[in-house]
Structure 1
Amino acid sequence: MLYEHLGARPRIHDTAVVAPTAVISGDVEIGPHCQVLHGAVITAEGGPITLAEHVIVMENALIRATAANSVHIGAHTLIGTLASIAGATVGEEVFFASGARVFNGALVGDRCEVRVNAVVMRRAVLLPETVVPIGWVAAGDPVQLFSPDRDAEIAAAQPELDFPGHVFGVDRDTPDLMVQLTERYGTSLARHRDDGEVGG
């Protein structure tokens, strides 16, 4: 299903194939010979998303841009089932295995592999041909790789996270943080009320 969001409609190349149960919303450009399979969601929440040629988005994967972080996926990249990419720039010939997660501001270089259930943290920079092992965490610039049990080291390797401030514009020390965050985010998401399905 294709949706216009904030006045922008998806643009899909004639040679690309999008499953009827996939959802493509807003300022999304899907390039030549791409495949977007059943249940995938590609949603531009204020920032653009571009898929270059021959990108494959498997079942139930999620690609999401924000006003702060657009998304670019390079050519010949495969995004596995249940993987998610939020606000990241991805090079060419990259493999994201099932359950891989990539967060806002990350840069993933050409020919990287992010294996099953691995995580690329916010603003991490993966040089070309980096491999993030199964279940491991990539953090920092330059990137460091950690087994998931090393949470203190993972936190130390990252820039100031300030997730509430960076993503939602709410100070972490706000006494009613979750009230402010959910109300502000809910107002932003309510803009979907005016979305319209695009025919074709």
Structure 2
Amino acid sequence: MINNRTDISIVTVNGKTPQIHDSAFIAPGCRIIGDVTIGPEASIWYNCVIRAEVNRVVIGARTNIQDGSVVHCDGPMPGVEDGFPTIIGDDVLVGHNVMLHGCILHDRAFVGLSSTVMNGAVIESDAMLAAGAMLTQGKCIAARQLWAGSPARFVRDLDDAAVMGMRIGVAHYVTNAKLHAAATAEA
């Protein structure tokens, strides 16, 4: 859904060009740089930056990265030979103005708006980081847990209704991305 648009930057760095599935929605104002892979029906919303010049960033199918978010990674360093890629699974919800840096988000993870997830941190499937939280380096939110605060700490386990709400959110963003793709193609 890019179609040679001039309001999006797709930049090759170190011989690595972003690989974006044809069905993904990339909103105007986005900057996608280097070793980035974006899966089917994913959506990258207005004014996001995804930069992977020192490692890789992978964004799975139907995942959405909402407006103003930044996704980066870290290269190899002493004691961490592989560095910290950012790996985001399928059906992940990432809120507005989120910073993801060298972390792993499993399938169906949720990151609330204005949150930060740092190097080596992990959010497992059906788990949630609350809005405004900071998940510090190396911390792990187990499946179906809610963490909040800065630094983030365990709050409670998520019930079935909360998990279902996240899945409904994913479906909403897939549909909404198609509407925005059509609207921006006409602009």
Is 1:91 matched with 2:99? no
Q: 2:104 is matched by which residue type in structure 1?
A: T
Q: Is the 8 A contact 1:136 1:145 kept in 2?
A: no
Distance, in Å, in 1 between the alignment partners of 2:145 and 2:100 is: 17
Distance, in Å, in 2 between the alignment partners of 1:45 and 1:117 is: 27
The secondary structure found in structure 1 opposite 2:55 is coil
**What's the CA shift for 1:45?**
3.0
1:18-29 → structure 2 map (5 Å cutoff): 18-29=26-37
Distance, in Å, in 2 between the alignment partners of 1:18 and 1:97 is: 20
Is 1:110 matched with 2:118? no
4+ residue segments displaced more than 6 Å: none
Q: Is the 8 A contact 1:98 1:117 kept in 2?
A: yes
Which residue of the partner structure matches residue 137 of structure 1? 151
Report the TM-score when normalising by structure 1.
Answer: 0.67
Q: Is the 8 A contact 1:137 1:145 kept in 2?
A: no
Quick check: which has more Rg, 1 or 2? 1
For 1:146-176, what per-residue CA distance to the aligned partner results, in whole angstroms no more than 9, with x for missing partners? Answer: 8xxxxxxxxxxxxxxxxxxxxxxxxxxxxxx
**What's the CA shift for 1:35?**
0.6
Q: CA RMSD in A?
A: 1.3
Which residue of the partner structure matches residue 143 of structure 2? 128
- Structure 2: any 5+ residue segments left out of the alignment? 1-8, 76-82, 156-187
The secondary structure found in structure 1 opposite 2:23 is coil
Distance, in Å, in 2 between the alignment partners of 1:131 and 1:87 is: 21
1:46-195 → structure 2 map (5 Å cutoff): 46-67=54-75, 68-133=83-148, 135-138=149-152, 144-145=153-154
**What's the CA shift for 1:136?**
4.2
Report the TM-score when normalising by structure 2.
Answer: 0.72
Q: Is the 8 A contact 2:145 2:154 kept in 1?
A: no
